[in-house]
Amino acid sequence: MADGAVVDPLDELDAQVARLRVVADELREARGKPVLEGNQVELIEDGHTLLRTYEEMQRSCQVQVRALDRPPYSTPPASQQKLELDRLADGLVYRAIYGFEVFESEEVMAVLPELRAAGEVSRVLPQMPMKMVLGDDTMALVALTKRAPAESHLLIRSSGLLDGLIAMFEMLWGLAVPMPELEANGDVAELRAPDRDILMLLAGGATDDMISRRLRISPRTTQRRVRALMDALGAQTRFQAGVQAARRRWI
């Protein structure tokens, strides 16, 4: 790479996913043989082991948990809510970047307000090609498939792979925009401050239909407000409108 070249975090993410899939394939081929990557990488392919590993990771952390998150989930998000709340109460920092798909998931939106009120710091990206949890700077749990949530996970301990994943998360954190403010209304989470939250949802990749349903405003009102906000920002695309709004500190 030439000096001064700018690295696209999403390109870096794609490259990391491709590399991790190669490692997973090598581990499958090496079953019964010495483990690859200096015993620092373990392949997990069943839901019980995955859940136990995820919970043990959170309990062992001393400083922070960082996550890239999107559906599907191997267990309902509500089943993991108490553990995160307990660890937040212990002073553990949680930082999460969500893919825009979470706005379509009622099970996620039902738990996010309480997690955020307890201290989780969350942001949104329109594209999230993988799921990952980082435990401090010592381990990562990475999902390699979008279809079956309990298969093809890698547990990565201190290694060059882990260092790259940590750096990638921090690049994505800088690219992501803040999660819209959420408040609970019965069993469903709603968004408030329509114009501000429309911009945040645009930055997260939400469609007009998603915005309309999430903010509980009519489709016609949504279309009119989106167009007016894009014009005010001089934005050519919906995502650009969200980014421009963040840069101008509108959101």
pLDDT(240) > 60 = yes
φ and ψ at 46, to 5 degrees?
-140, 150
Q: pLDDT digits over 70-84, tens only?
A: 888 878 889 999 999
Q: How confident is the model at residue 52 (pLDDT cuts 50, 70, 90)?
A: very high
Q: How confident is the model at residue 93 (pLDDT cuts 50, 70, 90)?
A: very high
Is the Cβ–Cβ distance between 239 and 203 less than 8 Å? yes
Last residue within a domain, chosen from 178, 202, 218: 178
The rounded distance, in Å, linking the Cα atoms of 79 and 100 is 21
| Mean pLDDT over the full length of the chain | 80
> Which segment of 38-47, 90-99, 152-161 scores lowest on mean pLDDT?
38-47
- Tell me the average pLDDT across 229-241: 79
Answer yes or no: do 45 and 153 share one domain.
yes
Answer yes or no: do 42 and 128 share one domain.
yes
Please provide the DSSP assignment of the chain as one string: --TTPPPPHHHHHHHHHHHHHHHHHHHHHTTTSPPSGGGTEEEE-SHHHHHHHHHHHHHH-SSEEEEEE-S--SS-HHHHHHHHHHHHHTT-EEEEEEEGGGGG-HHHHTTHHHHHHHT-EEEEES----EEEEETTTEEEEE--SS-TTSSEEEEESSHHHHHHHHHHHHHHHHSEEPPPEEEETTEEEE-SHHHHHHHHHHTT--HHHHHHHHT--HHHHHHHHHHHHHHHT-SSHHHHHHHHHHTT--
- Tell me the average pLDDT across 124-141: 88
Q: For residue 7, is it within any domain?
A: no
pLDDT of residue 186: 36
Is the Cβ–Cβ distance between 113 and 182 less than 8 Å? yes
Residue with tokens 């060059």: 160
pLDDT of residue 105: 79
Answer yes or no: do 226 and 164 share one domain.
no
**Strands of the sheet with 153-157, listed across from one edge:** 41-44, 153-157, 139-143, 131-135, 64-69, 93-99, 121-125, 177-178
Answer yes or no: do 123 and 239 share one domain.
no
Is the Cβ–Cβ distance between 122 and 112 less than 8 Å? yes
Q: For residue 2, is it within any domain?
A: no
* Residue 218 structural domain: 193-247
Answer yes or no: do 115 and 222 share one domain.
no
Radius of gyration of the chain (CA): 19
pLDDT of residue 137: 95
Of 232, 126, 228, 112, the C-alpha closest to 175 is: 126
pLDDT of residue 22: 84
Higher local confidence (pLDDT), 153 or 33: 153
Answer yes or no: do 169 and 68 share one domain.
yes
Q: How many domains does the chain have?
A: 2
Q: For residue 8, is it within any domain?
A: no
- What's 75's domain CATH number? 3.30.870.10
Q: For residue 188, is it within any domain?
A: no
Answer yes or no: do 118 and 26 share one domain.
yes
pLDDT(191) > 50 = no
- What's 228's domain CATH number? 1.10.10.10
Q: For residue 33, is it within any domain?
A: yes
Is the Cβ–Cβ distance between 154 and 44 less than 8 Å? yes
Last residue within a domain, chosen from 127, 147, 178: 178
Give the distance, in angstroms, between the CA of residue 220 and the centroid of all CA atoms in the same chain.
30
Last residue within a domain, chosen from 124, 147, 178: 178
pLDDT of residue 96: 96
